Structure 1
Amino acid sequence: MTTLDGATVEVVRSYLLSAAEEMRATLIRTSFNPVIYEVHDFGMSMYDADLRLVAEATGLTFFLGANDFSLRKGVDYVGLDNLHRGDVVLLNFPYWNAAHASDATLFAPVFQPDPADPDADGTLVGFLCVRAHWMDLGAKDPGYVLDSTDMHQEGLIFPGTKVVSRGVPVHEIHELIRFNSRMPAEVLGDLHAQIAALRTGERRYLEILAKFGRPTVEAAIDAMIADGEARSRAALAALPQGTWTAEDWVDDDGITEDPVKMRVTVTIADGTFTVDFAGSAPATAGPINMPYGATEAICKVILKSLTSPDQPSNAGTVAPLKVLAEPGTLFHAVYPQPTFTLWTGIVAVELILKALAQGMPDLLPASSGGDVPGFMMVGIHPDTGQMFAVSNNDPVGWGATTDHDGMNAATHVSGSTGRITPIEVLEARTGMFFERMEFRADSGGAGRFRGGSGLRRDIRFVTPGEFLSVIKKTRSRPWALDGGLEPDPNQVVVFPGTDREARVSTKRTRVEVGDRITLLTAGGGGHGAPRDRDPEAVRLDVAEGFVSPAAARDVYGVDTDG
């Protein structure tokens, strides 16, 4: 067994992280789809031969560790004996993929060639994995599926299918994808971008092995994982110990208007972080159900943020996690239950934090907008005659903490490493024209420290098409802490100022030239009693437009008119 000093371990760790980040750069620079190259709706990671995570590049927060589950399922399905040097495998079967069908996971084995037999596979030394959102795989509706009732309405399914075999593209599979997509150029372009990212990672992985030698790299990986686990368990031991329960509701399931119950019990004890979703609703008729792997991934986000937010991820950092969700329930969908609208997981991130805040109110912020206010437009571009489908996840106000205000208009905590789609891209690629985008006065929950402000966005349509709003937290308010006030929830107002005006949540709306829609994203929850806020801070809020003079007077007790 090779024993290493700490410096060597850190050097190898840095090389592996650099390789993962280079994979990321390759994907961003070569992808066709703005949700990948602008929003960063992807996740990518590197593994050793035992399927242990060794390095992960920055992607969507929601995908933290999600590839772990997918890779295990994919390798089990294909079989180690059927994986060869140069292979690339496609997996999007949602119950194995830790995501919905449009999140395409590609993985590849890494073999170290034998110089004495260069035509053979060589020695299996690791795996690489890249997942990214594809805009269309022939689901029943273009863009995003909001009301599917089984998996087969959600797009073409690949359970672990080789798209490259021994270095040669599998033409028939590429053609199958092309003929089953409404946007074949974009989807195949993104497929090739993911393959390019995998090839970049493969080259760098082999270079690292050549530079340091396989025994040194394997020993460094063992040390990294052991250190990650030790740090996580030590951090858990330093946190308050106990069990806390919280409940919340998802607006609806896309089929009925009935709210859907979420319940979680979180336990920190004996160096273990247990998240139990018992008491949540059974799986719904509509597509808000969570594959178990996706449920596991959101729990990893919370564990990582509590125990090692400033450390790179590896298999050790999440070793203390235990996730319980009964099959056939909201947080553990089984075939053929629909899973396309994964917003339950976004709201559940806040649910877990709500439970934990009971035991550690001084360590956690109040609710951050409650949800991700997503939207998309689908139509035919007048300049190209081709279909477009471009999306955006709007920012919300973050929750206040015990010692500072929440951030204004930031991406939701479940996707905080992602970005919003630039207005220039949205206007150039779709039929939307943005007449207004501004902070919303009084949208943040009032408190000694106020919640961050949400946004108002006014859209006028210059081409016909469909507007999809994807929001699951419009009926109940984001929660506050320690006497702070809860902000108004997210709102989508279609056709404002007309006799068709209505407030909707998750809905596909037909729009014509000249129609308008207003999006109002929620602020964060307040922390502490509003009357305890520093009057000078209130006056500054009014001057900057975050608080109205009326709210300053009536809520905070500060007269700013004098």
Structure 2
Amino acid sequence: MSSDTTDTTDTRAEEETTAADVLRERDIDPVTMQVIGGELDTIAQEMAYKLIRSSYSSIIRESEDMGAGIFTTDCRELCESDSTPMHVGSLIGYLQGMYDTFEERGVSREDAINEGDVFIHNHPHYGASHSPDIAVAVPIFYEGEHIAWAANTAHHLDIGSATPGLAVDLEDMYAEGSLFRATKVYSEGERVEEIWNFIRDNVRTPREVIGDLQAQVSSCNVGKERYLALVEKYGLDEIQATGEALMDYAEALLRNEIRKIPDGTYYAEDYLDDDGRNRGERLKIAAEVIVEGSDITVDMSKSADQTPTGYNIPFHGSTDVCIYFTIRSILMDTFVRDEYLPQNSGTFAPVHPKARPGCMFNPTPPTSAFARINQVDKMSDLIIKALAEAIPDKVCAGTCGQVYFVSYGGTNDAGEYWVYLEVNEGSYGGRPGADGLDAVDALVHNTKNRPVEDIELSHPMRVERYALREDGHGAGRHRGGIGIVRESRFLTDAVMTMEGDGNTYKPHGLFGGTDGTHGDLKHVTADGEVIDLNSKESGYKFAANDRVLIKTASGGGYGDPHERSAEQVYEDYLDGLLDEERALDAYDVVITDGDLDTAATAERRDDHS
């Protein structure tokens, strides 16, 4: 299913079409559209809450590494939950991958899809975001007709890959673990026990994986019930017509914003650490953004070739979804807009992702594409950087375009596996009106922190330090956000796989702001020896009482540091975010014996202006 582009909805290329025009053309009452749109959004949110509250593993229950929504039968998104962006837009790719599977197997959709069926799907070359993200899809039937899908996807603790939980240094996709293509776990309402038994027998954490899958099924069934209730309330024709209007409306809103960007080609590039096997061989990542009227193309073709490991990105389900979401986030920020902004496939239509087959953003089978989150983080960062000169008031400086996503595992006294997945937060870059956010996850995955108490109750680990970094950030009129430092001790022998990046580069500054700080990863042995680790490690061993020390990146600064008030710099000093030397070097702010020297600061800044 490899492709160099994707576009799942019809585009509206008319330059003068506005959101109001859409309502007139559709002959739909805007109040009715917004009411039904709100009810659809509520369905997606309820699906998400059901999954979160019913799940077994902390990666879903606490981190909320999941997404849910309702989709048309031709794979368009009607609504999405406010959870992990990568997990909602990707479901379009999952459903299309299921349809491609049916076609390859010579089975018609009518024969393959029946009322009461429940499908699972996670194949990275058939639309999945990556294989640990297993989607559950439930067809919605009304009066014998297949009218929609209720679907969700969530990251699972383990799928039986080469190393517990996560995997990086893999030979091909077959080493990723259990791959499912449109596999029924319920057939016409009957549980397919052979598949459930297969899953149970081929993962390290069967209780959590089976429990999470069943929670996903329950979530989809809630979505199905609520959507059918909506159909009964308004009628099928009204619901379907409103769904089309909502998508056209969202498309028109985004096209209007794209038209405000000067036409042209914008470009940014950087280099990732390595592929997890070939150390020291950095990987080019390049984003070319082409704006033409109300259409925007993001082409990743100038990036490095696909790697021989699992450090690649599925085009459908990850590359395209990250591009869709990044553009939407820049141009249709719901926080600063008063009007109703539907989040659906209409916002994908004016955006055209591209990547040549065989590059790391569009790998060809049987290449593995297991470890992909850092690349899409960095891609999002570079799209924003490329557009900075064109729309400076809508972008931020370099974010934690890398993340330390890690799995820890081991066995207990009974020989049973425990696996823990941890997302270590980074930060955002400074932005036009404010400092970067501290200790937050990257925008495209938006996962949450797991409480320390819960970690220590559930796993043989102790979190000995968890705080903001105190060794630098990007200086600017608006400083970069502060990353975290986390130090954890293992109470038993353990194995770690780290899917990280950013040990060798820093988040960029913008408009005179300085770069942030790079990440860092260390193994501290029980006797105090400190061992530097790579940003990617596969099956790395720790002994009991060893510690792992993680520092995530701090964001880049936005604007000239001399334009930051001395009082703000002094407040950061009081908060322990910089010392006297850093205040002087980066901001020309003089702090002596813990007090702000305003006169000396003014004189120094005058001398350096």
TM range (shorter): over 0.9
Q: How does 1:128-143 map to 2 (within 5 A)?
A: 128-143=150-165
Q: Distance in 1 between matches of 2:342 and 2:185?
A: 31
Equivalents in 2 of 1:549, 1:369: separation in Å? Answer: 25
1:116 aligned residue: none
Instruction: Give the aligned residue type for 1:205.
Output: Y
Moved more, 530-539 or 32-41: 530-539
Alignment-derived partner of residue 457 in structure 1: 486
Q: 1:447 to 1:308 in 2, by over 3 A?
A: closer
Q: 1:197 aligns with which of 219, 239, 246?
A: 219
Relative to the length of structure 1, the TM-score reads 0.95
Shift of 1:536: 0.9
Mapped to 2, the partners of 1:49 and 1:137 lie a distance apart of: 28
2:416 counterpart of 1:386: yes
Instruction: Quote the residue 2:188 is aligned against.
Output: 166
For the pair 1:560 / 2:583, whether they are aligned, the reply is: no
Q: 1:292 aligns with which of 311, 315, 319?
A: 315
CA distance in 2, matches of 1:141, 1:542: 43
1:247 to partner: Cα distance? 1.0
Amino acid at match of 1:288: Y
In structure 2, the residue matched to 1:370 is: 401
Conserved? CA contact 2:125–2:365, under 8 Å:
yes
- How far apart are the structure 2 equivalents of 1:128 and 1:76? 19
Task: Report the CA distance between 1:540 and its aligned residue.
Answer: 0.9
Contact 1:308–1:317 (CA under 8 A) maintained in structure 2: no
Letter in 2 for 1:363: K
Which residue in the other structure is 2:443 paired with?
A: 413
Name the residue aligned to 1:80.
Answer: 109
The aligned counterpart of 1:98 is 128
CA distance in 2, matches of 1:501, 1:278: 37
- 1:357 aligns with 388
Task: Using the TM superposition, give the Cα deviation of residue 77 of structure 1 relative to its aligned residue in structure 2, in angstroms.
Answer: 2.1
Secondary structure of the corresponding residue to residue 522 of structure 1? coil
Contact conserved, 1:97 with 1:105, CA < 8 A, in 2?
no
Contact 1:372 1:412 in 2 (8 A): yes
Task: Give the drift of 1:385.
Answer: 5.1
Which runs of structure 2 are paired with 1:258-273 in the superposition (5 Å)?
Answer: 258-273=281-296
| Partners of 1:50 and 1:160 in 2: CA distance | 16
Q: Unaligned regions of 5+ residues in structure 2, if any? A: 1-24, 103-107, 335-340, 596-609
| Counterpart-to-counterpart distance in 1, 2:530 and 2:241 | 66
Per-residue deviation at 1:560?
A: 1.4
Q: Distance in 2 between matches of 1:215 and 1:103?
A: 34
Equivalent position amino acid for 1:92 in 2: N
Counterpart among 266, 274, 283 of residue 306 in structure 2: 283
1:64 to partner: Cα distance: 4.1
Whether contact under 8 Å (1:268, 1:274) holds in the other structure is yes
Q: Which residue of 2 aligns with 1:514?
A: 545
Contact 2:117 2:139 in 1 (8 A): yes
Contact 1:444–1:453 under 8 Å retained in 2: yes
1:423 to 443, 452, 463: 452
- Paired with 1:260 and 1:510, the residues of 2 have a C-alpha distance of 26
Could you report, residue by residue, the CA deviation over 1:390-411 in whole angstroms, capped at 9, with x for unpaired residues?
1111111210023321111111
Task: State the match for 1:255 in structure 2.
Answer: 277
Please give the alpha-carbon distance, in whole angstroms, between the structure 2 residues aligned to 1:307 and 1:553.
37
Q: Is the 8 A contact 1:89 1:106 kept in 2?
A: yes
AA partner of residue 356 (structure 2): E
The answer (yes or no) to whether the contact 2:48–2:68 under 8 Å persists in 1 is yes
Q: Secondary structure, in 3 states, of the residue corresponding to 1:215?
A: helix
- Name the aligned partner's letter for residue 234 of structure 1: N
Task: Using the TM superposition, give the Cα deviation of residue 140 of structure 1 relative to its aligned residue in structure 2, in angstroms.
Answer: 1.6
Helix, strand or coil: the match of 1:187? helix
1:237 CA drift (Å): 0.9
Contact in 1 for aligned 2:561/2:586 (Cα 8 Å): yes
Equivalences for residues 468-479 of structure 1 within 5 A: 468-479=497-508
- 2:148 corresponds in structure 1 to 126
Is 1:65 the counterpart of 2:95 in the alignment?
no
- 1:333 and 2:357 equivalent? no
1: distance between equivalents of 2:88 and 2:152? 12
Shift of 1:442: 4.0
Alignment partners' CA distance in 2, 1:363 and 1:241: 17
Determine which of 178, 182, 185 is the counterpart of 2:204: 182
1:396·1:455 contact (CA, 8 Å) conserved in 2? yes
Q: Distance in 1 between matches of 2:528 and 2:465?
A: 18
1:465-504 CA deviation, whole Å, 9 max, x = no partner? 1133321111011111011111220101111784452242
**Alignment partner, residue 48 of structure 1:** 72
In structure 1, distance between residues paired with 2:407 and 2:457: 14
Could you list the per-position Cα deviations for residues 14-53 of structure 1 after superposition, in whole angstroms to 9, with x for gaps in the alignment?
1111111111111111111110111111121201233321
In the aligned structure 1, how far is the partner of 2:331 from the partner of 2:475?
29
Between the aligned partners of 1:330 and 1:420, the Cα distance in structure 2 is: 29
Match of 1:400 in 2: 430
Query: Conserved in 2, the CA contact under 8 Å of 1:443 and 1:454?
Result: no
Q: Secondary structure at the match of 1:44?
A: strand
Aligned mates of 1:545, 1:385 — CA distance in 2: 45
What SS does the aligned partner of 2:587 have?
A: coil
State the 1:57 CA deviation.
0.9
Paired amino acid for 1:301: F
Alignment partner of 1:238: what SS? coil
- The SS at the match of 1:479 is coil
Match of 1:30 in 2: 54
Deviates more, 1:289-298 or 1:235-244: 235-244
After superposition, residues 229-248 of structure 1 pair within 5 angstroms as 229-248=251-270
1:2 CA displacement: 8.6
Whichever residue aligns with residue 336 of structure 1, its letter is: P
The correspondence for 1:441, drawn from 450, 463, 470, is 470
1:151-162 correspondence to structure 2 within 5 Å: 151-162=173-184
Where 1:99 maps in the other structure, the secondary structure is coil
Tell me how many residue pairs correspond in the alignment: 552
In 2: Cα distance, 1:413 partner to 1:267 partner: 22
Among 503, 516, 520, the alignment partner of 1:487 is 516
**Residues of 2 paired with 1:2 and 1:302: CA distance?**
28
Distance change in 2, residues 1:151/1:83 (3 Å): same
Does structure 1 conserve the Cα–Cα contact (< 8 Å) formed by 2:490 and 2:545? yes
Secondary structure of 1:94's counterpart equals coil
Cα distance in 2 between the residues matched to 1:437 and 1:499 = 21
